Amino acid sequence: MKRNIIAVVFIVIAVALIVERNENPQVNKPSANPLIVEFNEVHDFANLRPGHIERATKYVLESADLILSDILSVPNADRTFENTMVEIDDIYVIIESVWSPGYLMGSTHTNKDIRDEGLASSQTIQKYLTDLSLNDDLYNAVVAFSKSKEAQQLIGYKKKFLEDSLLDYKRSGFGLPKEKRAQVKGIFNELADLGLEFSKNISDYQDTLFVSEDEIKGLPENYQKERLQKNGTYAIDMSYPSYVPFMDYAVSDDARKKLKFRFNNRAVDSNLSVLNDIIRKRRELVDVLGYKSYAEYRTEDRMAKNPRNVWEFENDLKSKLRAKGEMDIAEMLKIKSSRTNSNAHVINVWEAGFYENLVLKENFDLDPEEVRQYFEFNNVTEGLFTVYQRLFNVKFKKVEDPSVWHEDVLMYEVYDKTSKELIGRFYLDMFPRANKYGHAAAFSVTMGKMTADGYQKPTTSLVCNFPKPTEFQPSLLTHDNVETYFHEFGHLVHGVLTQAPLMSYAGTSVARDFVEAPSQMLENWVWQKESLSLFAKHYETGEVIPDALLDKMIAAKNVNSGTKALQQVYYGVLDFTLHDGYNPDGDKSTTDIVSKLQNEITFYPYQEGTHMEAAFGHLNGYGAAYYGYKWSEVYAQDMFSIFEEKGIMNEEQGMRYREIILEKGGTEEPLTLVKEFLGRESNSDAFMRSMGLE
């Protein structure tokens, strides 16, 4: 529903369905435009040129206006679910047909003009949707339908869609005087602009630390070769494949400190002020709407329901994790004391990854670099495909010579193994390049929707930044990379396997504090011998990962589980603090809050002079919602307990998961779906076990 479009401005949900409205001559359909596709056809991304996104955006917004006119022309006495509510969903469908692929191109295309055009299109569309959410006539049409006899008798997803729509209108200011609604509209538009600016400043930011031969000691030989400069220095940029290994392996404490300082000051010159503006505008918004805080506004339509439940969750988790965090730090301090011949009492933020790896190596004889040798990208992909295909009764078929936006991108079709029917498609864009989205995420390209012509086949693109193959070695993934791959692919199948009748509930269009749970659940397969043995093979010898190494990995699974989880609690509390009473015009800056909370919650003291919040992109898209990562993990681990009990490759349970959790999307409340899958009420027992706390 539009709460996933307006309220969550930067969650990228999308669809590529063009609804033909009798070829109305008022709307000029662009010809040969890669973003304007026929029903269930694919995009011709390779032929996308500057101007295409802009023209396609104009076309779909004009087409959306026609649908709106159709809705408003229906006499109130004749309103039905089909001619009012389904038509509203169709407006979102046609807009998403360009919004999503356009935004994907804005995040991944190599042509700057196309990237800028994709982001500009997103900005234009968000403003249109803001106007739509504040349209008095459309609101009156929904209210009129809600009073009809049919509306009173609605059940299931139809009833939920009407109730959610009415709640969304309340959250958009309806019930307030007209001038107040105009103010809300202006704030939404300003927030859309600020959000785009915040994200663009992060993605555009470039910085490189040049280090000496002494300072790069500890890094693998191939890592060094790839970064060696003509003058004998080594270039360490801020991308994850460059930054993370350096922080984990560089022997030079001073070099790690310098890199951490730069990394935690990305976009600082531009984004500190933008972040303050975002917080101000969010405060202004909820003040007009009558909420106590942005946190109250954001939790109202989520599983949490109110800020109190979030604070109780975070504080309870912080308390329960403290003892494990203390144990984790104690192990690192032992090694640091021995290594530095001192009585070490603190692990600095730039030392965390380095000493965690030493704990793995010295206490468990586990070298992450040795582990990487068994996770070559193509082998991992093949194994991941095997797991997902078997569990969910599907088949992935590679598309030869697809029309894609970069030569690295692969495309696949997804078929149901029993019916042989095409279910959907997906793209893999897995390696870093300049100006590409810098993290890992599943971007929807097409969302599911039942239409008169049949079901719209969903398409999702997985965008990651794993180490790219070089002349020196293939792409070798860390075990963390493999876990990320399984997680993000979980989002992908959530989108592709959907059977939701309305686009507004398709795939990941669920309560935002549940959206991570289905994919978090699927991370567990990278910790199981049965699944790892399918694809963990040495990239040179082909030897399956030895049981002895697997045993060490599994034994070491909860190394630093306390400190890592507390870091997530810190991020969640930071986000919630900034949105539950914090005033950017008060006597404390966002950096003051960062420093205070990092020192209180984590065991790694704040590094003076850093401003991590400037590049903490989740403060934009996940404002007052970052708590959802840990919140949803409780449900994820509870759902995984069924596979632990029945067998991790149990196809019957896999199909139940597909049908109950993945296919239904947002058509039912998350707690209802979880309870149906579990066959009981949910609890946190499995989550605590997964952390090594029970």
Please list the active-site residues: 488
C-beta neighbour count of 220 within 10 angstroms: 15
Residue 490 in tokens: 């979980």
CB 35 within 8 A of CB 464: no
d(CA 191, CA 277): 9
Contacts of 650 (CB under 8 A, 6+ apart): 643
CB 553 within 8 A of CB 366: yes
**Which long-range CB contacts under 8 A does 159-165 form with residues at least 24 apart?**
160/505, 160/667, 160/668, 160/669, 161/1, 161/85, 161/89, 161/502, 161/504, 161/505, 162/81, 162/85, 164/1, 164/3, 164/301, 164/504, 165/1, 165/2, 165/85, 165/88
Residue 497 in tokens: 């396997």
Report the DSSP pairing between strands 459-463 and 441-446.
antiparallel
Residue 300 in tokens: 């109202």
Contacts of 231 (CB under 8 A, 6+ apart): none
Compute CA distances 652 → 283, 390, 392, 424, 452, whole Å.
48, 10, 9, 22, 32
Helices marked H in 290-306 — which ranges? 294-299
d(CA 607, CA 349): 7
Contacts of 172 (CB under 8 A, 6+ apart): 6, 133, 134, 181, 184
d(CA 81, CA 158): 8
CB 95 within 8 A of CB 125: yes
Report the DSSP pairing between strands 410-416 and 422-429.
antiparallel
d(CA 281, CA 585): 12
Element housing 600 (H / E): helix 590-601
| Closest to 68 measured CA to CA, from 135, 155, 123, 156 | 135
CB 247 within 8 A of CB 350: yes
d(CA 274, CA 251): 36
d(CA 408, CA 46): 12
420: left (phi over 0), alpha (psi -120 to 50) or beta: left
Hunting for tokens 């009585």 — which residue is that? 343
CB 317 within 8 A of CB 630: yes
